[in-house]
Amino acid sequence: MTSDSPELQALQRRLEEEETAYAECLKTLDQLASFPLPEETLKDLAWQMGRLNALWQTPARPDASGLGGAFRSRAWDAVAPALERQGDFNSILVQALNGQVEENAKLHAHLRTLVAALLQYLQRLLPLIDARDRSASAHAVLRAELILEAFDRRLESLGRRLEGLLALRDRVELLGEEMRALRGALEAAPEPARAAARPALDSASYTAFERRFRGTPEQVRERLAEYVPLFQGLAPVLELGCGGGEFLELLKAAGIEAQGVEQNPGFVGECRKRSLAVVQGDLLAHVRSLEDGALGGVFAAQVVEHLPPAVLVETLRECHRVLRKGGLLVLETVNTRTLYGLLEVFLRDLSHEKPLHPETLSFLVAAAGFSDVRVELKSAVEASTKLQPVPAEGLPPRAAGILNENLERLNSVLFGPQEYALFARR
């Protein structure tokens, strides 16, 4: 709102009108406060009341001695009743006048005190309002200064972040230029060199995809840590599609001998930098290369859904062959039995082959010769995402129960756990 806006001008006019009315009211009240009291204007009032109090009593009975006294006494006896009534009347009248004059004096004194206090209050009212306005203005200024200070700090922080983003942009542009230069050099290279380099480029893209949607290495290790105790006493263990080697690190920390096989050269390079035993190559071909009963355990997390059905069946058979008696097979994969797992997890990854229903995978594992096959659901969907139960208030108990039971069934289909783990014994 600017100083010349109609709203501000109207507010200024209203303020001037109110200040004028306040000044006139204060002036009028000041004039009224100077009224005189009755005893100040009626100078004879005190003398008159004194005389009235002295004269209201009736005369005393005359002396009855002598002839004249006897006559006065008989005359007194004749008029005495009337004089007594007149004396009573005078007494009551004087008492009433005295009380009225006294109360009027108190009332007038109280009225003058009240007007004086009201005038003093009005004289203090305007400075009080002005002081409050000044205090509010000071607080508003202080608050504005604090907000501006916080805004400056936030702006400074954003500036630092912007500098970081600009540096990151420069770095990304540099990496982009290097990538374009490498691709240009690769295109100019002989065909054998191009063929050898293409898998590395493809693996780099999928590595970035894994990091984006599966989580950081720390998150993956935290999620897979629960499987480590299952392989105690079952070394050596083979992990199919070991990725960045998070589970191999957990097994190594637990003192369990393990090896991984991975096709992605980027992941293989990361694992070898951390001194993890990883073989680069095809999963099925590697398992086929192992001797009968060479392993105590086989583990694969988010791998079997990437295999074509025929390859999956053959891989399960080979896993059964290379596991010794009592060996453990653990397969973790997407729970496509629920719509949430199918839409939010399985379909997001273009490298997934076919949805693997828990019962389908259980059948294939049992058909490969495994026993004690069981499935355990993992990664429950947050309760806030699911359909919420209907409150029973206002509904017949039977109707509310049936409705919530149906909602629970629908939740199990729509928002069931996103993953499941299959456990089987050789």
Q: Residue 312 and residue 322: Cα distance in Å, rounded? A: 15
Per the model's pLDDT, the better-predicted residue between 299 and 379 turns out to be: 299
> Does one domain contain both 98 and 224?
no
Q: Tell me whether residue 61 is in a domain.
A: yes
Per the model's pLDDT, the better-predicted residue between 85 and 396 turns out to be: 396
Which of residues 153, 173, 190 is at a domain's end? 153
> Does one domain contain both 14 and 147?
yes
Task: Return the SS3 of 371.
Answer: strand
Q: Tell me whether residue 144 is in a domain.
A: yes
> Does one domain contain both 286 and 410?
yes
Q: Tell me whether residue 409 is in a domain.
A: yes
> Does one domain contain both 47 and 141?
yes
Question: DSSP characters for 92-109?
Answer: HHHHHHHHHHHHHHHHHH
Q: Tell me whether residue 210 is in a domain.
A: no
> Does one domain contain both 229 and 137?
no
Structural domain of 414? 215-387+399-425
> What token pair was written down for 74?
């008989």
Q: Tell me whether residue 140 is in a domain.
A: yes
- The pLDDT of residue 382 is above 80: yes
> Does one domain contain both 143 and 225?
no
- Phi-psi map region of 100: left, alpha, beta (phi>0 left; psi -120 to 50 alpha): alpha
Q: Tell me whether residue 293 is in a domain.
A: yes
> Does one domain contain both 280 and 370?
yes
Count of domains forming the chain: 2
pTM for this prediction: 0.55
**Long-range Cβ contacts of 18-23 (<8 Å, 24+ apart):** 22/126
Q: What is the mean pLDDT of residues 349-372?
A: 92
Q: Tell me whether residue 174 is in a domain.
A: no
Per the model's pLDDT, the better-predicted residue between 98 and 380 turns out to be: 380
- The pLDDT of residue 249 is above 90: yes
Look up tokens 């035993």; give the residue. 277
> Does one domain contain both 124 and 238?
no
> Does one domain contain both 89 and 227?
no
Q: Tell me whether residue 264 is in a domain.
A: yes
- The pLDDT of residue 9 is above 70: yes
Q: What is the mean pLDDT of residues 213-234?
A: 89
**Long-range Cβ contacts of 357-366 (<8 Å, 24+ apart):** 358/420, 358/422, 361/304, 361/331, 361/333, 361/422, 362/422, 364/312, 364/313, 364/316, 365/316, 365/329, 365/331, 365/422, 365/424, 366/424
Give the list of residues 6+ apart from residue 401 with CB closer than 8 angstroms, or none.
392
End-to-end Cα separation, the chain, in angstroms: 81
CB-based contact 361:316 (threshold 8 Å): no
Q: Residue 49 and residue 98: Cα distance in Å, rounded? A: 8
> What CATH number is attached to the domain comprising 336?
3.40.50.150
> Does one domain contain both 333 and 239?
yes
Query: What pLDDT does 209 receive?
Result: 56
Q: What is the mean pLDDT of residues 312-339?
A: 95
Range from 135-144, 345-354, 370-379 that averages highest in pLDDT: 370-379
Which of residues 153, 173, 203 is at a domain's end? 153
Q: Residue 373 and residue 387: Cα distance in Å, rounded? A: 32
Q: Which of 43-47, 231-235, 259-263 is the least confident region?
A: 43-47
Q: Residue 29 and residue 37: Cα distance in Å, rounded? A: 17
Query: What pLDDT does 12 receive?
Result: 78
258-262 β-sheet, strand order: 278-280, 258-262, 237-240, 295-301, 323-334, 419-425, 371-378
> Does one domain contain both 122 and 249?
no
Which of residues 129, 153, 177 is at a domain's end? 153
- At 149-174, the pLDDT tens digits run 888 888 888 888 888 777 777 776 77
What distance separates the 2 farthest-apart alpha carbons in the chain? 176
CB atoms within 10 A of CB 333: 25
> Does one domain contain both 141 and 238?
no
